[in-house]
Amino acid sequence: MSENEKLEQTAAGKSKAEKAAKKDGKSKPGVFARMGKWFREMKSELKKVQWPTWKQTFNNTMIVIVCCVVVGICIGVFDTLAERIITALVHFFQSI
């Protein structure tokens, strides 16, 4: 018997076993049972989370705000500089 035939027989045996398990009444749980399981698992995972302290949260928030302000200033400076350069070039080429 070749290896392919052995693999085919093994696969056929598995599918018969799966069909037999379904006939025995072993089906997947209902929607509400699965939802309940999901919520229980989520609750246990959230208990494992190391939540930041108020001080850490405040410090991180301030860092984000400062970074946003700095990036906004950089973009504003670049925009003003680009506007003035383009305006100067337009006036230069209009005078020619």
pLDDT at res. 75: 98
CA distance 90 to 81: 14
State the pTM of this model: 0.52
CA distance 15 to 50: 45
**Residue 72: both structure tokens together:** 């906004």
Mean pLDDT value across residues 46-67: 96
**Residue 6: both structure tokens together:** 């052995």
